[in-house]
Structure 1
Amino acid sequence: MKKQELIHLHGLLAQVQNHYEEKTGNEVEHDEYERVNVRPTSIHMSKDDHKDAVFALAGGITSEMGDDKSEQVPAAAD
């Protein structure tokens, strides 16, 4: 995957996290993501840095969703 694609994926995952937190009121675990200290807007960071951030963010999101007792996240109104 190219760096630009990783940055795009990173941004999408950040939006998924924000949407999930807004809809459920549950906060996604940020410790690992904060440790990596790379944001989607950190375009000067290396491809590997963004890769680490993507894995940390995805791990936090999936872990929180796995712990969530509700059936599903409410869909966004169009």
Structure 2
Amino acid sequence: MKKQELIHLHSLLAQVQHSYEADTGSEVEHDEYAELGVKPTSIHKSKTDHKDAVFALADGLTSDMAAESDEPLTLTAD
């Protein structure tokens, strides 16, 4: 995968994160991603840096989503 493609994927995952956080009202825990200090707009960072960031962000998102799916479903009356 080319660096430009990784940056695009990184941007898409960041959008998924923001959408997920808006839908659930909670923040995704991703300390590893935050420690890397690589954002989708960090175009000066290396291809490897973006690859590591993509994996860390994807791992944080899937872990959070898996934990949420393990919670029991509660129904509320409107």
TM-score tier after normalising by the smaller chain length: 0.7 to 0.9
* Residue segments in structure 1 that go unaligned for 5+ positions in a row: 72-78
**Per-residue deviation at 1:27?**
1.2
Give the corresponding residue for 1:60: 60
* Residue segments in structure 2 that go unaligned for 5+ positions in a row: 74-78
Give the partner amino acid of 2:17.
Q
- Structure 2 residue matching 1:13: 3-state secondary structure: helix
- Structure 2 CA distance for aligned equivalents of residues 6 and 70 of structure 1: 36
Determine which structure has more spread, i.e. the larger CA radius of gyration: 2
**RMSD (CA atoms):** 1.2
Give the partner amino acid of 2:24.
T
Give the partner amino acid of 1:43.
I
Q: Report 1:20-59 matches (<5 A).
A: 20-59=20-59
TM-score, structure 2 length as denominator? 0.86
- Structure 2 CA distance for aligned equivalents of residues 30 and 64 of structure 1: 9
- Structure 2 residue matching 1:27: 3-state secondary structure: coil
- Percent of residue pairs identical: 69
**In the alignment, structure 1 residue 11 sits paired with structure 2 residue 11:** yes
Aligned length: 71
